[in-house]
Amino acid sequence: METNLDNEREKLLWKMAKKRVGFRRQLASYIIVNSFLWALWLITDQHCYGNDTICIPWPIWCTLGWGVGIAFSYYGAFIANTPNAVEKEFEKLKGKGNS
């Protein structure tokens, strides 16, 4: 007979698995699209923004902007939402309630 706590843990693990698979798909899209953009920039006229001494390639904006989103997605999928973190917080709160 499965307890309610085991069922909740399985739901949490299922949710974590979905987030991690979603992150891997986002990362694959990020790599493919950004590789295409940089290749496109390299084979075309390589237009840059900035003055003559500093050349800022236009694909950098896509790479950096999307990269920030990927970093947050990684944090949400692999760091912030782990079962051990939830269990540790539960034990911490349970300990405070007894004091």
Tell which residue, 36, 38, 92, has the closest CA to residue 60: 38
Name the 3-class secondary structure at 57: strand
**Tens digit of pLDDT for each residue in 72-82?**
999 998 888 77
pTM equals: 0.73
d(CA 56, CA 29): 23
**Tens digit of pLDDT for each residue in 35-81?**
999 999 999 877 777 666 778 888 999 999 999 999 999 999 888 87
Tokens of 98: 């007894």
With DSSP H G I counted as helix, E B as strand and the rest as coil, what are the percentages for the chain, rounded to 5?
Answer: 80, 5, 20
